[in-house]
């Protein structure tokens, strides 16, 4: 009797075990899907943020490198050879060393290049990871101070995916630091275009030999009192043929060098009372 009761009890326990119902499986699947979708969304967002941060870091790094390079060459230049207050896509700098003179910085095809000397090889200042646009240089003249250059450009990350896009526009002003020094001839870029000095800003002297005082010029005289004042002799050494005396030569002195045994002739171009011009001998 006792044995039968034990078997009946075991049978009842075993028969009470059952599996998940369809509703429970559906609820579990829904919860799992929500968790998985949330996780994937966070993962995608994290990747997108990381990608954009990488793009921003690349643009910021190359922008700073480009600005530092431009500032270095402008600071060490002897002359900014550009028209004043006119934007240009090319920065031309004259340098004190002939091995790097002139130095150019310009943009081609979204890349900024550096070239030293007219026959030098161009060197890229930006990589293909970024694209540079709207690069311009504007020279500013500062009377009483050193010239400067306004630099403007836009740099963007080179990507077709809009989620990776990042760009920034920069504008700075860089001034020359070094004094103008040259180890070769100083020549103008074009004929009969540029001047040395200005009427309102007069040079004091050239090599402490030729002096300026208002409109007066002194040779060996630091404070000339006449239009031309010379400390020493004035030599007329004319070995070329004497020109015709006319209105353009009026007031000119001329020394005609003669052969051995014959004295030289010193003449002046002047007109007489009948307005006729001729060379008149004064010696």
> By residue range, what is the domain housing residue 279?
235-283
Q: Using the predicted structure, report yes or no on whether residue 274 has a pLDDT greater than 70.
A: yes
218 and 260 part of one domain: no
Judgement on whether residues 50 and 171 belong to the same structural domain of the protein? yes
Q: What is the pLDDT of residues 141-165, one digit of tens each?
A: 876 667 889 999 998 888 777 666 7
Same domain for 111 and 149? yes
Tens of pLDDT, residue by residue over 120-141, are 999 999 988 888 888 999 998 8
The number of domains in the chain is 3
Domain annotation covers residue 38: no
Angle at 207 between CA 203 and CA 208, to 5 degrees: 80
Residue-wise pLDDT for 104-120, tens only, equals 999 999 999 999 999 99
Residue 27 lies in a domain: no
pLDDT tens for 51-84 read 667 778 888 888 888 988 998 898 888 888 888 8
Q: How far apart are the first and last CA of the chain?
A: 170
Pick from 58-67, 179-188, 256-265: least confident: 179-188
| Residue 282 and residue 259 share a domain | yes
Strand 253-256 relative to strand 228-230, pairing? unpaired
Query: pLDDT tens digit string along 218-253?
Result: 999 999 999 999 998 888 877 788 899 999 999 999
Q: Say if residue 265 is in the same domain as residue 207.
A: no
Q: Is the pTM of this model over 0.75?
A: no
CB 253 within 8 A of CB 236: yes
Rounded to the nearest integer, the mean pLDDT of the chain is 82
Does residue 83 sit in the same domain as residue 170?
Answer: yes
Examine residue 32 and state whether it is found in any structural domain, yes or no.
no
């Amino acid at each position: 009797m006792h044995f039968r009761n034990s078997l009946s009890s075991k049978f009842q326990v075993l028969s009470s075990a059952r599996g998940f119902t369809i509703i429970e499986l559906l609820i579990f699947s829904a919860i799992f899907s929500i968790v998985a979708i949330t996780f994937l969304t966070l993962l995608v967002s994290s990747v997108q943020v990381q990608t954009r941060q990488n793009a921003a870091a690349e643009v910021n790094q190359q922008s700073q490198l480009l600005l530092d390079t431009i500032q270095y060459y402008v600071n060490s230049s002897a002359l900014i050879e550009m028209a004043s207050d006119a934007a240009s896509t090319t920065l031309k700098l004259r340098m004190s060393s002939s091995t790097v003179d002139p130095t150019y910085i310009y943009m081609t095809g979204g890349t900024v290049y550096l070239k030293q000397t007219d026959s030098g090889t161009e060197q890229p200042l930006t990589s293909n990871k970024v694209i540079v646009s709207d690069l311009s240089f504007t020279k500013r003249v500062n009377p009483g101070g050193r010239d400067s250059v306004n630099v403007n450009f836009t740099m963007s990350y080179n990507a077709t995916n809009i989620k990776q896009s990042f760009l920034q526009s920069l504008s700075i002003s860089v001034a020359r630091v070094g004094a103008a020094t040259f180890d070769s001839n100083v020549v103008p870029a074009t004929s009969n275009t540029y001047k040395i000095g200005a009427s309102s800003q007069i040079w004091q002297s050239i090599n402490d030999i030729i002096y300026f005082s208002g409109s007066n010029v002194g040779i060996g005289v630091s404070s000339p009192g006449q239009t031309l004042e010379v400390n020493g002799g004035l030599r007329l050494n004319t070995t070329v043929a004497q020109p015709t005396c006319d209105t353009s030569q009026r007031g000119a002195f001329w020394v005609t060098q003669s052969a051995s045994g014959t004295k030289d002739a010193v003449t002046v171009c002047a007109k007489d009372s009948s307005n006729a011009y001729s060379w008149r001998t004064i010696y």
